[in-house]
Amino acid sequence: MRRLVISAIAAAALLTATAACGSSDEGGSAGDGGTTKIKVGAIPIVDVAPLHLGIQKGFFTEQGLEVEVVNTTGGAAAVPGVVSGEFDFAFGNLVSLIVARAQKLPLKAVAEGNSSTGQQGKDFGGIVVPKDSPITGAAQLAGKTVAVNNLKNIGDTTVRASIRKAGGDPTGVKFVELAFPDMPAAVANKRVDAAWIVEPFFTVAQNQGAKVIASNFVDTAPNLTIAAYFTTERTVQQKADLTKRFTAAIEKSLAYAQEHPDEARAVLPSYAKIDPAVAEKMTLPAWSGQINRDSVQTLADLMLTDGLITEKVDVGALLP
C-alpha cells in the first residue's frame, strides 16, 4: 500500500482555505497568567526527544507556552495538520516539506529537527541485510527488494544516494513499504533483501544479527539535516511573537539534548515504546540546532532526479 507524500500534500492543499480563516492572530488560546496554549504535531520516535525533554525541563514554560504534543505518523501526515490549523507547529522530514513547497503549500521551517551524526557506521540509522546475506555493500542492492517506512520519501531517496555513491544502479531497486517495528523480523526472516531502519529498531535488528552495509544519510550529504520543526508562512508573519517564542524554546531544547544525551535517552520511555536496554545502547541523532542548507538543497536535487518533484526547488523559501 502506498501512503505517498504527494497524496497527503494534495489533501493538505484542500485545507489551505481553512487555514486562511483559522485560528486567531494571537496564536493559540491564552490561559491564566498569559500562557499561550499550542499544539505541536510530532511522530513518537527518538528524533523528537528534545521536544519532550524541553517540555519536561520547562524551556517552553519560560517562553509562556503550554505545549500539547499530538502524535503523528510522519511528516506527510503533519503537513495537512499544520496547513489546516490543527497544529501550530510540527516536526517533519525535509523530503515531505520540499514536496509540499513544490506543491505551492506555504510552509516555513523555523528550526532544525534532527540531523545525521555524519559518521559512517555510527549513525542513528542505516541499511541492513540478513546476517548471512551475500550483500556486503550498497552497490549490490541493484535489483533487490529494500524495505522503507514510506515510499517516495526520505528513505528511498537516501538509499538511492547510497547505491549511486557505491557505484551501483538504483533504478532497478524494488522498494516495499513496511513499518519500522516490523523491519527487524522481515530482515531476519529474509522477507526482504535489505531494509533502511532507524533507531530504536536499528539496534534491535543488529541485536538479532542483521549486518549494516551502508549509512545512507552519511552517503547522501555531509552532516545531512533530516527534519525540521515547521509552520505556515501565515503563522510566521501574523504570529511573529509566538513563532519567536516557540523557536527560542525548541532551540534551547535541541542544545540541551545534544549536551545531555543521558537525559535525552531517559525521556524516551515517556512518549515512545522503547526498551530501556535498547535506549541505553542505541545511537542518538545529532541535534546541532543548525539547518545545513547545502544538505537540504542536495536532498531537493536528488528528489528531482528520482521524480519525487517535477521542477527544481530552491530551498531558500522553505528554510529560516
pLDDT tens sequence across 289-315: 999 999 999 999 999 999 999 999 889
Confidence of residue 204 (pLDDT cuts 50, 70, 90): very high
For 117, 221, 316, the CA distances from 163, given in Å and listed in that order, are 20, 13, 28
Average pLDDT, the chain: 90
Instruction: Indicate if 13 and 157 belong to the same structural domain.
Output: no
Instruction: Indicate if 69 and 80 belong to the same structural domain.
Output: yes
Instruction: Indicate if 110 and 228 belong to the same structural domain.
Output: yes
Confidence of residue 33 (pLDDT cuts 50, 70, 90): low
> Could you report the per-residue pLDDT of 126-142, keeping only the tens digit for each?
999 999 999 999 999 99
Q: Three-class SS of residue 67?
A: strand
pTM to 2 decimal places: 0.86
Task: Give the structural domain span for 36.
Answer: 5-116+223-317
Instruction: Indicate if 104 and 162 belong to the same structural domain.
Output: no
Instruction: Name 56's Cβ contacts closer than 8 Å, sequence gap at least 6.
Output: 267, 270
Query: How many percent of the chain have pLDDT more than 90?
Result: 79
CATH number at residue 269: 3.40.190.10
Instruction: Name 232's Cβ contacts closer than 8 Å, sequence gap at least 6.
Output: 19, 82, 83, 106, 107, 108
User: At residue 275, does pLDDT exceed 70?
Assistant: yes
Instruction: Indicate if 102 and 74 belong to the same structural domain.
Output: yes
- Quick one: which of 95, 137, 91, 130 has its CA closest to 114? 91
CB 188 within 8 A of CB 209: yes
- Cell numbers 511573537 correspond to 241
Instruction: Indicate if 30 and 71 belong to the same structural domain.
Output: yes
Query: How many percent of the chain have pLDDT more than 70?
Result: 90
Instruction: Indicate if 251 and 208 belong to the same structural domain.
Output: no
Instruction: Indicate if 42 and 99 belong to the same structural domain.
Output: yes
Pairing of strands 125-129, 194-198: antiparallel
> Which of 220, 236, 270 corresponds to the end of one domain?
220
Task: Classify burial at 136, counting beta carbons within 10 Å of its beta carbon; exposed 0-12, middle 13-18, buried 19 or more.
Answer: exposed
- Quick one: which of 158, 167, 160 has its CA closest to 139? 167
Run of H or E residues at 69: strand 65-71
> Could you report the per-residue pLDDT of 89-110, keeping only the tens digit for each?
999 999 999 999 999 999 999 9
Domains in the chain, number: 2
> Which of 203, 220, 237 corresponds to the end of one domain?
220
